A and B are shown apart, each in its own frame.
Chain A
């Protein structure tokens, strides 16, 4: 019986990749362990091994095909003795070796009214469905002519040429542009140079800027965070990449006690112009020690700025601002968002101010406040709510500290209702802070209690179903929105 060979995932968050090269051709006999093909993403390359023996009956996806969704059948393997010519494409039993962890999310060109929203969604647990199909090409560059209709674009000058970029590319461009602009900017961290970045955020930087300014460190977070802070005390502008903010726990003393407090303790003499950046929060199925969202933690500390972008355009503009900022900035990224594409303005020097929230979607009935990957739930919920006749205003905080209460309060004065969405834990979370502020600053305008949608109050489980339960979901957001609207 013929089996389908499926496009494998290189990582739990991979959704699509390029089929770079077939190493076997149709009709070749195959043994288990033979390398059939090479696939690549913007992050890495991998070899596809055969798990069974047989004959490579049919190649379904040709060499050089881009954007092949994970779990798409890429070839059919016939059993020995079976007539290769008789096998049907896609008719086989699925049998991929790296068990498809992430179902390919089909990337559609954004609808005109949703240009800035991207298509981000958490990868669903592995399950092959009929929806699997090759993805469409990313949206072509578009000129915004009516960005006044889209509040998410309000900061971008009319007529600006937009390019579609992933968050990953936007972050890299931000660093490269700032390194070109200022000799004092350098990047250090584990695997940032020769490996091109554990998540490929620093891809190409070593080649352009050399080993002096793109510094591979040993696995020594506490130490290199301190080295970065010490260098920043002298006026250099380090970008310290943590492979994940979970590992920054080893370095949190230097971030808080040294970077955040020294300006104050020195009576204003010794600033610390440094950026600590890296993926934060849950990726997919990486367990409790690799899934913690630290937004609330760092936002508790005076002397730090804390930024957590959602779109590629904000990621770029905010990272550039963070690098220029004379203060220590904790810049929280998200692994799932890295691969998501958004329109990014093609401007020579595009920055987004730190400390300014954005009304991502206008609405009159309920305010949904979120940030980072939380925005994916908020926006999906808002679209579904609209179908039910509830117009939600979605605010992307973008900066957690200093927090732009003003934008939130202004919205709540209009809607009278507020819910917050974050993946972090509920107690002392960002939502708790927003609720407390609204109680003081918008008490008389609230028609319902502020509700918080957060990650559940448990360490992140590994099992796919439990992880899904532990994270917020769109239904919870919709339910909360309806509840505060008494619907």
Chain B
């Protein structure tokens, strides 16, 4: 690659970094809203840290994709959603499950492949579901959940129940063909679907600018006439604000909406990823300057004047929940061998 191109790419990345909208003009959260967001995001953070530890101890096998750094996305969207709205996502899914209200114990026990896991130990990290909480997985084939989520929207419209399908994908999945097949049908049939593209800048080891001709994912629906916007996915307030708009659009029968959440994952793509495709400085800078949880914590301590003890109490409570889930997940028995032959057909 020649120097000019290199420089161009460099400037591309710089622009991406700079493209995050300023956080100052987003509507403020109330004290309670910030406390809620803090607690929910912290639960995901601590849960994922624990999952990373258990993985390191050999208690979790296979693939394990952590959501650390991206917590504001799912929490902000959930704060804008209503009961009955469905959530479906790809394989980086633990955060979404917790955000939907699924039990941390059941999620962690699935990670360790135990009887008490959400899928009785038969799904693993990428395959958990809860009909009760309207969480439809948990899908391991990149992009497949986008067609499936569009089908959830189809069912909502068929039933006329007013529910909206919140269909998540990453910047990598956004290049899959079926995503555009789905966009086309969703707009054609005006399906109530909000497509949330979590752009964490790397599809495994490939940066967005190396894989995407159009790096502005909010424009990926332009040829279908689907509105889209870029959102600071590190600011839970901005996420909720945009998601409220998008969900209202979908619920009102106006069809799908695309939200590009500009976010960042601190950890590797999966546990086995040494993340050599980016610098340590880049990660450190994101953590220091944009951490979604730290932003809320600062507001709680500052503007909301929440006493530090109260925040520490939240921290302790979250830690206890996570420890309890880990204890359960490591003491619960493995599924009975007879489970091998169940749940193949109804």
Contact = CB atoms under 8 A, between A and B. Distances in A.
A228 B178 CA distance: 13
B184 A226 contact: no
Given A227-B151, A234-B152, A267-B121, 4 more contacts: A220-B181, A226-B144, A268-B343, A302-B344
Contact of B178 (A218, A226, A269): A226
B117 A258 contact: no
A264 B137 CA distance: 13
Interface residues of A, number: 39
A263 B150 contact: no
A263 B131 CA distance: 12
Interface in A466-487: none
27 contacts: A223-B184, A226-B147, A226-B150, A227-B151, A228-B151, A229-B151, A230-B155, A231-B151, A232-B151, A233-B148, A233-B152, A236-B155, A254-B144, A254-B147, A263-B343, A264-B344, A265-B119, A266-B118, A266-B128, A267-B123, A268-B120, A269-B118, A269-B130, A270-B129, A271-B346, A305-B345, A326-B346
Contact of A227 (B118, B124, B127, B185): B185
Contacts of B165: 230
A276 interface: no
A271 B342 CA distance: 13
Contact of A268 (B136, B151, B182, B342): B342
Contact of B184 (A218, A231, A268, A305): A218
Contact of A267 (B136, B151, B159, B343): B343
Contacts of A302: 344
A262 B140 CA distance: 11
B330 to A, nearest CB: 19
A37 B334 CA distance: 73
A383 interface: no
B119 A253 contact: no
Nearest to A268: B343
Nearest to B157: A212
B104 interface: no
Nearest to A235: B155
A234 B155 contact: yes
Contacts of B185: 217-218, 220, 223-224, 227
Contacts of B320: none
A469 to B, nearest CB: 37
Contact of B147 (A218, A225, A262, A268): A225
A267 B127 CA distance: 10
Interface in B90-134: 117-124, 127-131
Contacts of A264: 122, 343-344
Interface of A: 186, 212, 217-218, 220, 222-236, 253-254, 257-258, 262-271, 302-303, 305, 326-327
B46 to A, nearest CB: 25
A235 B151 CA distance: 11
Nearest to B156: A234
Contacts of B137: 262, 265-266, 270
A267 B344 contact: no
Contacts of B120: 267-268
B217 interface: no
Nearest to B345: A327
Interface centre among A254, A269, A303 (most CB of B within 10 A): A269
